[in-house]
Amino acid sequence: MQITAPYLLFVGDATDELSIKMAKGAADWRPELCVGEMNADGCTVTTGLPRMSIEEAVDKGAKTFVLGFANSGGVLETRWHPIILEAISKGMDVVSGLHDKLTSVPQLAEAAKQHKVQLLDIRHPESVFKTGTGLPRSGKRLLTVGTDCSVGKMYTSLSLERAMKQHGMDVDFRATGQCGILIAGQGVAIDCVVSDFISGATETLSPDNREAHWDIVEGQGSLSHPAFAGVSMGLLHGSQPDALVICHALNRSHMRGLPHTAFPSLEETIELNVAAAKLTNPDVKVVGITVNTSSVSVEEGRAYCDQVSKALSLPCVDPVRDGCDEIVHYLYKEFL
């Protein structure tokens, strides 16, 4: 599966910034691959890129039309079909991270065939995976895990990769979600792998490597989330992490989408994840904590991170506001 840049990012009529994280991730981490964004009436959020039509984007060289939004259930709504057909008619490939497949819509599939373009359903792995083995692999691995969903595991993973490369380390980002795959150009959408094969798919994603090499495996879900803990557990076992980074969002009061639930503490999250990770790597260590502090001022966020760092004796940063240098320094001390 080859995704051809540049991209036009379509955000639809989204009103929740979290719902366009696929588009926003590409705009934030690979802006050089994006010509702009397109929205529909009612949209109140933005990636920050220039707004343009399909025709304008094609004139600027866009090759791929990206459905950069998500909705409950990952449904490809029929009201977007005419817009997708317009992109196809202009010779653009179409990328979707939704659960519904572009290729399952006869009208879109026929148009793509006629105009000789690709429909790329990147959430649906095409590989055949085996069950996990738990056998040790060469190289080192860091997995990002969270107190909840949508707390910044992908942003933390990419920030860590950037910081580690700046420090001269041998490192790769391994994408496990549709947003990360768009950014990296490859990966496995782990939430669409049959449950028995999640750990095996993760082993395939991060195979044997050089002893000094680090794979940063993008985390998904949370062991504390009743809906998505299964995916998180499979990633923990399959990645066999040498290091864990705990990701958290400030001022959450319950698990995302479940107002009846209690929110776990950082201490509980560390305990849960370390215990689970030890099944396949008894020597796993927590090397840092990242916090999305966007709900408060920079000063308040920094004060909170300092407080957490002192309480847990671990580096604690906002990966967007602060970067991850402090965690990389700690990682270097612990492993190199």
β-strand partners of 292: 249
β-strand partners of 66: 9, 95
> Does the pLDDT value for residue 2 go beyond 90?
no
CATH class of 7-121: alpha beta
Q: How far apart are CA 80 and CA 255, in angstroms?
A: 30
Mean confidence (pLDDT) of the chain: 95
pLDDT tens column, 94-147: 999 998 999 999 999 999 999 999 999 998 888 899 999 999 999 999 999 999
> Does the pLDDT value for residue 336 go beyond 80?
no
The neighbour count for residue 259, using CB atoms within 10 Å, is 8
Contacts of 254 (CB under 8 A, 6+ apart): 260, 261, 262, 263
pLDDT tens column, 240-272: 999 999 999 999 999 999 999 999 999 999 999
The pLDDT of residue 178: 87
> Does the pLDDT value for residue 1 go beyond 70?
no
Least confident span in 7-11, 27-31, 283-287: 27-31
Q: Is 121 helix (H, G, I), strand (E, B) or coil?
A: strand
Could you give the C-alpha distances from 276 to 108, 192, 234, 255, in angstroms and in order? Answer: 43, 22, 10, 20
Q: Packing angle between helix 198-205 and helix 229-239, nearest 10 degrees? A: 40
Note whether 190 and 198 are within 8 A (CB): yes
Q: How far apart are CA 105 and CA 110, in angstroms?
A: 9
Q: How far apart are CA 227 and CA 144, in angstroms?
A: 18
Q: How far apart are CA 188 and CA 1, in angstroms?
A: 11
Rounded average pLDDT over 213-219? 98
Q: How far apart are CA 59 and CA 77, in angstroms?
A: 27
Identify the CA nearest to 225 among candidates 201, 252, 199, 243: 252
pLDDT tens column, 265-306: 999 999 999 999 999 999 999 999 999 999 999 999 999 999
The pLDDT of residue 72: 75
The pLDDT of residue 240: 98
Least confident span in 167-171, 187-191, 281-285, 308-312: 187-191
β-strand partners of 65: 8, 94
The pLDDT of residue 125: 82
Identify the CA nearest to 5 among candidates 92, 63, 90: 63
**What CATH number does domain 140-335 carry, 3.40.50.10320, 3.90.45.10, 3.40.50.720, 3.40.50.300?**
3.40.50.300
pLDDT tens column, 118-129: 999 998 888 899
The pLDDT of residue 143: 98
pLDDT tens column, 56-91: 999 999 999 999 998 877 899 999 999 999 999 999
Q: Domain-by-domain residue ranges, the chain?
A: 7-121, 140-335
Provide, rounded to the nearest whole percent, the portion of the chain with pLDDT above 70.
100
